[in-house]
Structure 1
Amino acid sequence: METDLSIEREGEDVMEKTMKKKEAVVLYPSPLIGHVISMVELGRLILSHRPSAAIHVLVSTAPSPAATAATADYISSVSASAGSSISFHHLPATTLPPTFSTMKSNLPTVALALELLRLDAPNVHSALESLSKHHLVLALVIDFFCASAVPVAKELGIPCHCFFTSGAGGLTHFLYLPYLHKNITKSFKDLDPDFIIDIPGTPLLVPSDLPNTVLDRGDRAYEIFLESSMNIQRADGAIVNTFEELQPLATRALVEGQCTPGGTTPPLYCIGPLISNHDAGDNNVDKGSLKWLDMQPSKSVVFLCFGSMGVFPKEQLKEMAIGLERSGQRFLWVVRNPPDQPDSDFDSLFPDRLLERTKGRGLMVHRWAPQVAVLNHGSVGGFVTHCGWNSVLESVCAGVPMIAWPLYAEQPLQRALMVKEMKIALSMNASRDGIVSAAEVEERVRELMDSEAGKSVREKTLAMKEAARAALSLGGSSRVALTRLVDSWIPAA
């Protein structure tokens, strides 16, 4: 009897200690800035539903000094504004083993980031163990790039959800990749250009529509994505930064398990659109572009912006400038110098007297503009974008139609989905040498701003703006999905 009482008291002590632990949700993003921003916004959303919890973000080694600097600046701004509700934990630096020393210089940024994250699994294990000593860890939410952490969470008995930051159509592709790998023996880049790739939940695709990171099955990035797809099938859920009304075909295919033949699809939670205006309140924000927009007619300006990595060669910048001038449309263009061109030579990037000839009708902004504020300005009527998913959602929420000009990673796939399925964009098309001609820029800009095709895209985008608002409202599809997600983490009483 005494032994039974002792065991009972020990059980009560353990329960009491557990009850005193503060709830925590651990987020593990890729260290690339766009992924960190999306993950932090998810953390804010979780806090809005479960304010008693704390958000802990694991920060891993970035693939380059530039990526490290961009992420560090953002983390500092969030830490200053979020207080103790969101905290960041820098994992020990990860380095490639000696066997990779000759490979490192040849690895693209994405492949290097994937490799470093794969090697980070022991550090994630240690961090979760440490946090569990003083917190009740409700869940680990990982970036798709961090899929190697799924087995770690399983080992520790922590619910693990994947947060896919690139929309439901991208997730259908990555979950279907093992099936494609098994049934198509060639690299996608070696297929006939017109070869049809049929993926559940997406329009029919051709090889050039696929992410450039999976075009060559001999690349290391391809191998890791294939492994990641299998790991994600073992996750406890898939969180997607989209809303059902924007991508109904893809969400239906995922819910019905069509993308994992012979495997398992984790439960789907579409909780978007999540967008960030992280430059809000920054005293150093450039107001010049907004003041210039104040002087332009309603819906008359085409905004061109290509993200933090959107750098073009001088030849392409010249074609863009000539096309914009010939279009006759008003434009606001964020320009980054080519790698071999000093910032001090900014004016020399454009044809002679172009700035003078387009003065009043066009404005070139060096390096950066407050994108969310610009897209929501009443003078902006179109957006030429690199198809980064954060930018796409920002444009949808502002009701601004787009011209899709993908540059890298999964952006070609996003263009195909935006143009063929969502119908919220027109496509900018490059020639065989990869350069988009001045004539193409001129024609697409005019088409967006002054044609029936442009009008159709505008109307669909405005409809999706209202659908996004409804999805986030009380009783909306994304609000309901968030409730289901967070409630699934709460231990039964």
Structure 2
Amino acid sequence: MEQSNPRPHRVLLSAPAHLMPVIELGKRFVTCQDVKVTIFVASFVEIAAAESRMVPGTHSTNLFDVIHLPPADISNLVDPSDKGLVSLSATVRVVKPAFRAAISALETPVTALIVHVFAIDCLGIADQLKIPKYVFVSTNAWFLALLIYTPILEKEVEGEYVDMKEPFVIPGCSSIRAEELPDPMFFRTKANYHEFLKFGVEIPQADGILVNTWEELQPKTLASLRDGNLLGSVAKAQIFPIGPNNSEGSPALKNELFDWLDKQSTDSVLYISFRSMGGLSLEQMTELAWGLELS
């Protein structure tokens, strides 16, 4: 017997290689708001198999489902020298028709669409379906502020950002030195920068922005994001701090890890992260190994 008042149905779209933060957000919706969630995963051929292994089967329930869209072949769309955001955006554009069709095929009517910030090309599908649209920023309010402020920097700064001697002043944030900027901003002539800039232009078009932080952690930055006069045209988009939104992982593994760390001498452990899209050639891996050995 069907329910007379079916649960609201949220559809989330994960950008390639950013699946786990979206999974955690979906779990929060199901447990805290009693809604049905369907997560669609966009990926390109090179990472599809690895990303599929990241989703345990227990995530698929009558209220929570993860659906992998057909992997996109972007080999003829992306220059080998342009990876990162260019690959992400190309993938999202290729899978967009399949994503639109998959939403239409769902048995339960969709009440809201949430896309990962790197999948923002699909945000307009919500307009076609006449439902609210939201962007999920899985990092923090500082990164969101920088994204939204980049179109302003584009007009105000001449030359390459990396050549600027004075720190950049972003409203609500600590001053930022050129070397602290995200990699896509290093070279304005590169395709990755243009994708980064595009995200900053399109984010304010959403009805709301979900950001992985909380009020007490970044109050000044959140206040700036809510003030359209400081960070540009963000007045339409409500800011929702939904953090901390982290994967807890296995408690047993976490205990084992901390037990090992506690046995090491002070300042003897070096943590290195290549981020979600990181990769090293054999030559780079060898150089890294020598650097660690000699440090």
Which TM-score band applies after superposition, normalised by the shorter structure?
0.7 to 0.9
Q: Is 2:118 the partner of 1:145?
A: yes
CA RMSD across the alignment: 2.9
- Counterpart of 2:85 in structure 1 is 110
Provide the secondary structure at the position in 2 that maps to 1:44: helix
8 Å Cα contact 1:94-1:119 kept in structure 2: yes
Corresponding residue of 1:24? 9
Q: What is the CA-CA distance between 1:117 and the residue it aligns to? A: 1.3
Q: Deviations over 1:266-314 (max 9, x none)?
A: 1111111111123457xxx6986566457x38x9576533346576644
CA distance in 1, matches of 2:3, 2:126: 19
Q: In structure 2, what is the equivalent of residue 60 of structure 1?
A: 42
Shift of 1:130: 1.9
Decide which moves more: 254-263 or 300-309. 300-309
- Counterpart in the other structure of 1:306: 272
* Count of residues paired in the alignment: 288
Q: Are the aligned partners of 2:141 and 2:221 in contact in 1 as well (CA < 8 Å)?
A: yes
Query: TM-score, length-normalised on structure 1?
Result: 0.53
Aligned residues with identical type, % of pairs: 23
Residue matched to 1:135: 108
Larger radius of gyration: 1
- Counterpart of 2:175, as a letter, is L
Q: Say which of 52, 70, 73 aligns to 1:95.
A: 73
Q: Is the 8 A contact 1:150 1:232 kept in 2?
A: no
User: Secondary structure of 1:213's partner?
Assistant: helix
The Cα shift of 1:19 comes to: 4.9
Q: TM-score, normalised by structure 2?
A: 0.85
Deviations along 1:40-67, one digit per CA (max 9) or x if unpaired, are 111111112222x2210111123x63x3
For the residues of structure 1 that align with 2:169 and 2:15, how far apart are their CA atoms?
29
Over 3 Å counting, the alpha-carbon distance change for 1:95 and 1:289 in structure 2 is closer
> Which blocks of at least 5 consecutive residues in structure 1 are unaligned?
1-16, 323-437, 439-493
**In 2, Cα distance between equivalents of 1:264 and 1:292:** 48
CA deviation vs aligned residue, 1:155-213 (integer Å, no higher than 9, x gap):
21111111101100000000111111122242323x33x13321111111222111111
Secondary structure, in 3 states, of the residue corresponding to 1:155? helix
Does the 8 Å CA contact 2:14/2:119 hold for their aligned counterparts? yes
2 CA distance for matches of 1:316 and 1:277?
29
> For residues 134-172 of structure 1, what are the alpha-carbon distances to aligned partners after superposition, in whole Å with 9 as ceiling and x for unaligned?
213221111110111121111211111111011000000
1:224 deviation in Å?
2.1
1:126 equivalent in alignment to 2:101: yes
Higher relative contact order (CA 8 A, sep 6+): 2
Q: Deviation string for 1:401-431 (max 9, x for gaps)?
A: xxxxxxxxxxxxxxxxxxxxxxxxxxxxxxx
CA distance in 2 between counterparts of 1:58 and 1:109 reads 20
2:171 and 2:60 mapped to 1: Cα distance? 40
Map of 1:213 onto structure 2: 184
Determine the structure 2 residue equivalent to 1:227. Answer: 198
2:148, 2:232 within 8 Å by CA — same for their partners in 1? no
Q: Please show how residues 301-340 of structure 1 align to structure 2 within 5 Å.
A: 303-307=269-273, 309=275, 313-322=285-294
User: Does residue 71 of structure 1 match 2:64?
Assistant: no
Q: Which residue of 1 aligns with 2:143?
A: 170
